[in-house]
Amino acid sequence: MRIAVKYCGGCNVTYRREEVEEVLRKHFEIFYSNDADLLICISGCKKGCASEGVKGNILHFDEKVSEEEVLRRVKEKLGISP
């Protein structure tokens, strides 16, 4: 499974967006390309700039969540059993 990561401009400096990527790197191989089975868009706010105009299988994170929640959402999107 190819998982890609895309960031927004990071308008919310109190939210460490890279924490989501750190979790992903521990469990998956990630790429920086739109050519993937799942595109993870990591934004600093609810507007979701990172996913604007993107088509396909997208998962959007815009607030701090636990490692377990990141994994649950990714596996659900990819159709992987928990």
Predicted confidence (pLDDT) per residue in 42-64, tens digit: 887 777 777 777 788 999 998 88
* pLDDT band (50, 70, 90) for residue 32: confident
Res 10 pLDDT > 80 = no
Question: Distance between CA 74 and CA 79 in Å, rounded?
Answer: 9
Mean pLDDT of 22-34: 87
Cα separation values, 5 from 29, 54, 65, Å:
11, 12, 16
Instruction: Give 68's contacts (C-beta < 8 A, 6+ positions apart).
Output: none
> pTM surpassing 0.85?
no
Q: What is the pLDDT of residue 1?
A: 80
Q: What is the DSSP letter of 29?
A: -
